Structure 1
Amino acid sequence: MFDLFKSKGDSQPDDVKGIRHEVLQFVKQELQKAEGGEGANIKGLALYINCSSAERQVYEAAVYADEPEQLKNEIQRISDDYSLDLPGNWLLNIHFDETLPDEAIKMSQLPVALFVKTKTHFVKLQATAFIKALSGKTSRPGYLISSEGGKYNIGRDEKAQSDEGYFRTNHIAFPSESDDERNKYISRQHAHIEWNKNLAKFVIYADEGGIPPRNKVKLRSALTEKIVKLHATQIGQELEEGDQIILGESVVLEFSYEKPDATPES
């Protein structure tokens, strides 16, 4: 079953503290996606781990398999710190080498999945995220995107006419009249971000103006620091906390689930 979880990158933590940190960050991120007020309806969490036999001892130590109450306490602290409102009687179960429930959410970097138990054994996952330009100049200081918001187009100018003649709305726009020279390398139809319900993640896709040889879209992973190029419009890349989206030659957008000090406009 290990291949089911195989990472898209080659780099992943292999020590006890590193694995524990990534698992806790994953749990926090998934709980933050739970629809408002549903935290109190959670009956329990189940972690499913399908590592190799050689890794088993490391993963058991990482999740306190012999003393699962310790991991539960750490998750409870996350709940308290981020006001996730887990009930006082929630349960934590840790499973090794067991079949996953259909609703379990898999980590992209580790052979770990999370199943959130409620009275109906399912929590509808929703999310908001924040986009801001680290280089290049956008029409707004930042952007709030939502899993309910559909497709968010990225490109030059808010209203841009395509080669076919129709007009496209770019929700994340780089004005042509900007004095930032980097904006001119952004296509009118460069890329878009949308929510994938099956993955419960935001995914970025290159559009016609953002694929070679016309232009470029690249994604730099905050976790692995690897850079992936998008070569086709049909194949997207999952976005994780802190990832950087590189458009054209040097325009960079940052993706985050963390709310910035100043709330971006939607």
Structure 2
Amino acid sequence: MEGDDLGTWVVKFTGAGQGPKSLVAEVVVGELARRLGFAVPELVVIDVDPDLGRTEPDQEVQELLRASPGSNLGMDYLPGSITYDPLAFAVEPSLAARVIWLDAFTLNVDRSWRNPNLLVWGGRLWLIDHGAALYPHHDWAGIEAAVDRAAPGFTDHVLLPVLGADAPELLSAADAQLAPAVTAGLLADAVGLVPGEWTDAPGSAYVDWLLARVSGRRPWLAELLVPAPSTVPDRSAGTRGGRPDWLRGGLGA
């Protein structure tokens, strides 16, 4: 969509099937990632006029617009960007490890080889689409039980093959760099950007839960730190669905 600022934005609507909590996750994780030094397209609140849907000829789009009046989420459109392809774009192992750490921390289950949710633009790797992260917030009654939870299906993470046999060392280094940077103030800044009408949970609930995950033993990380074998796996394996043997034993499962 083109905004009244003449900018072009990829808009995610509150009336979509995933509901407004997916937009909460987009903001919290996206802005957390930005503050930790990752490249993330600018995120803004887009105000959708309720009359906009009346002139939309496509019925499905019309229904979506009419179900999403007011505040919605806009992500800066990166013209000419392409979806990350591990065969076409090399990623530094240290960066790959930091992305994997972030996804494990925020329980982002949607960065697989099937759906990378990574863009290449300007020679950099950009992180997008974090609506599937923080999924325990869909049931706050059980949120405490998820403090130590490891992200399911992490063997399918698109960047795991980049780490090769050095995965434990690289992930430990990423943890040493990123975990101390996740402070209450940093989280409060990110959570504070979420419009209040998108969630019935106070911002402090997100801050407290994420602080609990990043503190202490971090068992969700321990499950990733599986000892690597003495031989280096073929890094070409796994880019189209296969994975090195050492990743098939339940890493992060």
TM-score range, shorter chain: under 0.3
TM-score (structure 1 length as normaliser): 0.25
Larger relative CO (CA 8 A, sep 6+): 1 or 2?
Answer: 2
Relative to its length, the structure with more helix (as a share) is 2
Pick the structure with greater CA Rg. 1
Structure having the larger proportion of residues in strand:
1
